[in-house]
Structure 1
Amino acid sequence: MPVDDADAGARRSSGDQSARTPQPSESINRFAFDSFGEGDIEREQVERVTPGIELERQAERTRSTHEREEVLPRLLDCSGVLQDACAAIVDDSFNRCFQEAVEEPWNFNFYLFPLWWLGWLIRHGILFPLRLAFILSASAAFTVSFFFSHYVTPREWGWERKCVELYAAAFVVSWTGVIRYHGPKPSRGGQRGGVVYVSNHTSMIDYLVLTQVSPFAVIQQKHRGWVGLLQRTAMNAIDCIEFNRTDIQDRHKVTERLKQHVADKSRLPLLIFPEGTCVNNKYCVMFKRGAFDLGVDVVPVAIKYNSLFVDAFWNSRRQSFSRHLCKLMSSWAVVADVWYMEPQRQREDETSIEFAERVRTMICKRAGLKAVPWDGMLKYYRPSPRECESRRKAFASTLMNGLK
């Protein structure tokens, strides 16, 4: 066989083997013409084969797309709880109301660190011992003077109220308090009952800041220790009202005592913190409507502390009030602004809840606080194990149904 014929036969043999091997669809036209030539398979037949393969592949892609579209909604249905959980973690506006301010470190180089260390020594080694000695001396003097005024002098003289007012001022001095008051302040001893003062609540020192100007009768949660001793003696002497947050029957008694207090014009004006709990110096939770159902004028009071010197927020779940006071006395100063606003009365076309929200808006706008739609009592709420278990079962059932 001539060389040319042999090469041609080899090419035909290799072409036959290539024809039996599956090739990609995009190269089938070129393969058919190169292997068999134009005379073996007509161009029209090849062109009819190629679209068929493409249509089959397109059908496969369409089927897989439909399957994904059927599975995706089921996965999204079972992920609703997860989406709610992620949204709660990302935008948790409730827990932010009770977070303490994080102190940014500024002693990060060699020449700032000695200044920071010197300031720490002055605050804790000099100022704190002097302030502690001062408040202990003031407490001893208050004990003697209050005992004398309570058991010796007539109640009409008002010495008990004056002792409470001076004792509150002593606490403010022990922090080197710089309190700036704005608006019409209540007169010392001239203001009487028939009016309710409401304020945002950052710490128990709010009462001390306001009482050093004029004494108030306040609604207070029962405490233990030396704070409870003051409540049962000095605070009760000026007609303060105690309550137990966990006792439902006690709440009804408090409501009746509130009405009796505001009806007696000879008593001190009533101070109420409608939030019901201490909130950090940035947010303001919902107001309880109890202070707005009494049918008397309500005076909004806004308090804003300057966190540049110290964080005045009292996190009662993490520290005692004594430790909180030590923190304040070991700072440079406690700087705050207090705004007394014009008395407000409930309108005829608004409910007590709308009245409370209107007053809260006024306080938030004046103090630069962010109003959030949360009840502060949720801070003390803990779900029961039975509720947690039922929630887990509901989530597992939704997840399994979505994956079927």
Structure 2
Amino acid sequence: MISAILDLFWIPIGGFLSFLIFISAINKSIGVRKAYVNLLLRIFEYGRVSIETASKENHLSVRTTKTDNKQGVQLVDDADSKEGTNGATLITRDAVLLPQAQEPAPEKPVSSKKDEINFDFEKCLDYVKSGVEAIIEDDVTSRFEAEELKSWNMLTRTNRHYEFISWKITSIWVFGFFIRYVILMPLRVLVCFVGVVWLTVCTAAVGYLKDGPYKRDLVHKVLGMCFGVLSSAISAVITYHNEDNRPSSGICVANHTSPIDVLVLMCDSTYSLIGQRHGGFLGVLQRALARASPHIWFERGEAKDRHLVAERLKQHVSDPNNPPILIFPEGTCINNTSVMQFKKGSFEVGGVIYPVAIKYDPRFGDAFWNSAKYSMMQYLYMMMTSWAIVCDVWYLPPMYRQDGESAIDFANRVKSVIAKQGGLIDLVWDGQLKRMKPKKEWREIQQVEFANRLKSDST
């Protein structure tokens, strides 16, 4: 009896998975995910209106019961003002210290009278203010934390304030919890398992074929199919823009938010990857991909050898039959609110650079991977219990290094284009600051600049 019930349960699941693989194989979409996302937007909007209504009713009730209590009224007013700043940037900076030298102040004639050079304490108050602001909310460490939403998306991990504000919101939250953990999560885990097995089997089979145009075309179709199945495990809804600029060779660079960036781009085209060898789940995917197409994997010690990395890149780019190589020049994951310093290595190789901007919609699920806080399995668990992963991808026109342009300037120019298209903040700081202290030369530059400004203001 029990086995018959299980058979009845697994028959529709098996049929669904077969249908999913078939749809991914022909690279088609029937619009279920987009309809699902549109439904979520309506629910979020209804929740927003309900939360605002409940908040107003609660505040009005407090004001009514505390009419004669001035202190109570003041507390309510203070709460209103704090609520208005929830999720907003608290610090507005007038003076920002950057990790590069500033233009020196114009020289002023030095007076021969020593008593005319006076120190004014007010001249350093701007720097004191900037330092305090950096301690409260700096531009670097805030990029390594999940972005706080201004509205509630029924996920307590991103904004835990409203689930019990009214019985309507509580009912929606409980129902959403049931949907995500009881229905979506088990199904997504199953789809992910099937996708990884399918990727491993398909790449192993394709790997035995002889190199040539037929194998490259087959690899493109197989990887598109496999990554299409894996994208279903996180309910990914991806919109590609300017597909005429899609890279076909050379080097493709993109801003980096999470390992899902690779999945997002591989669903639309085939790329070669470069990076450090990993173990565990990522290691399984790396070995599977290496069987079918050329990739560059380094051991931990080799990845620090810049000359070796540059030489391998040049060898890959010089072969027109190789797919474009995908590089994330930031070198670490940023929370998709900004773009941080690009490493110059990939811009020294020469040839064409294809910029790509990726922007995730945090309302449905935060794609940022805080590797210092969560393991890969914890991150996958969070992705599979989110509502969906919704993002936009912009293929930007190819860019070339100009005559006399340094690799650093070229990298900054490409970074600026990506930031502008993705609506991201263009920062000059190195993303590796989340793992190391600021470089000594950066501190010395700022000390010299501070001293020069004090001297110029005092004369």
In structure 1, what residue type is equivalent to 2:144? F
Question: Are the aligned partners of 1:161 and 1:238 in contact in 2 as well (CA < 8 Å)?
Answer: no
In structure 1, stretches of 5+ residues that fail to align are 1-72, 388-404
Match status 1:313 vs 2:349: no
Query: Shift in Å at residue 164 of structure 1?
Result: 3.0
How many residues align structurally? 308
CA distance in 2, matches of 1:337, 1:78: 44
Query: Shift in Å at residue 361 of structure 1?
Result: 0.8
CA distance in 2, matches of 1:312, 1:219: 21
Query: Shift in Å at residue 246 of structure 1?
Result: 6.1
Q: SS of 2:329's equivalent?
A: coil
1:67 counterpart residue number: none
Aligned counterpart for 2:207 among listed residues 142, 150, 159: 150
Change (3 A) 1:331 1:80: closer
Match status 1:344 vs 2:399: yes
Query: Shift in Å at residue 140 of structure 1?
Result: 2.1
Aligned counterpart for 2:275 among listed residues 213, 220, 227: 220
2:242 counterpart residue number: 183
Match status 1:207 vs 2:262: yes
Change (3 A) 1:247 1:141: closer
Structure label with greater radius of gyration: 1
Aligned counterpart for 2:171 among listed residues 101, 107, 114: 114
CA distance in 1, matches of 2:427, 2:389: 26
1:135 counterpart residue number: 192
Change (3 A) 1:256 1:308: same
Query: Shift in Å at residue 344 of structure 1?
Result: 0.8
**Is the deviation greater in 100-109 or in 298-307?**
100-109
CA distance in 2, matches of 1:276, 1:113: 41
2:134 counterpart residue number: 88
Match status 1:164 vs 2:164: no
2:284 counterpart residue number: 229
Query: Shift in Å at residue 85 of structure 1?
Result: 5.5
**Is the deviation greater in 341-350 or in 101-110?**
101-110
In structure 2, what residue type is equivalent to 1:155? D
1:45-67 CA-partner distances (Å, limit 9, x unpaired): xxxxxxxxxxxxxxxxxxxxxxx
CA distance in 2, matches of 1:354, 1:82: 31
Query: Shift in Å at residue 235 of structure 1?
Result: 3.4
1:16 counterpart residue number: none
1:229-378 to structure 2, matched below 5 A, reads: 229-235=284-290, 237-244=292-299, 249-378=304-433
Query: Shift in Å at residue 350 of structure 1?
Result: 2.2
Q: SS of 2:167's equivalent?
A: coil
Question: Are the aligned partners of 2:191 and 2:230 in contact in 1 as well (CA < 8 Å)?
Answer: no
Change (3 A) 1:80 1:306: closer
Question: Are the aligned partners of 1:301 and 1:340 in contact in 2 as well (CA < 8 Å)?
Answer: yes
Change (3 A) 1:201 1:248: closer
CA distance in 2, matches of 1:262, 1:174: 33
Query: Shift in Å at residue 331 of structure 1?
Result: 1.7
Change (3 A) 1:275 1:325: same
1:96-107 to structure 2, matched below 5 A, reads: 96-102=142-148, 103-104=158-159, 105-107=161-163
Change (3 A) 1:319 1:250: same
Question: Are the aligned partners of 2:140 and 2:429 in contact in 1 as well (CA < 8 Å)?
Answer: yes
In structure 2, what residue type is equivalent to 1:140? V
Q: SS of 1:301's equivalent?
A: strand
In structure 1, what residue type is equivalent to 2:207? H
**Is the deviation greater in 129-138 or in 86-95?**
86-95
CA distance in 1, matches of 2:296, 2:133: 40
Question: Are the aligned partners of 2:361 and 2:389 in contact in 1 as well (CA < 8 Å)?
Answer: yes
In structure 2, what residue type is equivalent to 1:362? V
CA distance in 2, matches of 1:81, 1:235: 52
- How high is the sequence identity, in percent, across the aligned residues? 37
Question: Are the aligned partners of 2:330 and 2:342 in contact in 1 as well (CA < 8 Å)?
Answer: yes
Q: SS of 2:278's equivalent?
A: coil
TM-score, normalised relative to structure 2: 0.61
Query: Shift in Å at residue 77 of structure 1?
Result: 12
Question: Are the aligned partners of 2:180 and 2:387 in contact in 1 as well (CA < 8 Å)?
Answer: yes
CA distance in 2, matches of 1:283, 1:265: 33
In structure 2, what residue type is equivalent to 1:147? A
**Is the deviation greater in 137-146 or in 357-366?**
137-146
The CA RMSD over aligned residues, in Å, is: 2.9
Query: Shift in Å at residue 219 of structure 1?
Result: 1.7
